[in-house]
Amino acid sequence: MKTEEIKALSVEDLNAKEKSLKKELFDLKYQRKLGRVERPSMFKLIKKDIARILTIRNERLKDGNKS
C-alpha cells in the first residue's frame, strides 16, 4: 500500500486497516510454524504497511493537538 493511499483514509479506516494487517501477519506467523508459507516476503511488506499506518495516524494526532 502506498503512502498516498494511506493518507487518503480516515482515522477509523486506518484503525480497521491496521487491525486487518495485524491479523494477516498473525496468520502468516502461524503458517510459518506449520511450514507452509508461500510468500515469505509478505512479512516485510505487511510490517512496513503497519508502520506507515502508525506513522500517519501519529502525525495526524500531533497536528490535531497543535491546532
The structure's pTM equals 0.88
Can you state the percent helix, strand and coil of the chain, rounding each to 5? 80, 0, 20
Q: What is the pLDDT of residue 65?
A: 76
Average pLDDT for 47-53: 97
Q: Supply the CATH number for residue 22's domain.
A: 1.10.287
At residue 66, does pLDDT exceed 80?
no
Question: In which domain, by residue range, is 17 found?
Answer: 9-66
Residue at 1 is within a domain: no
Residue at 2 is within a domain: no
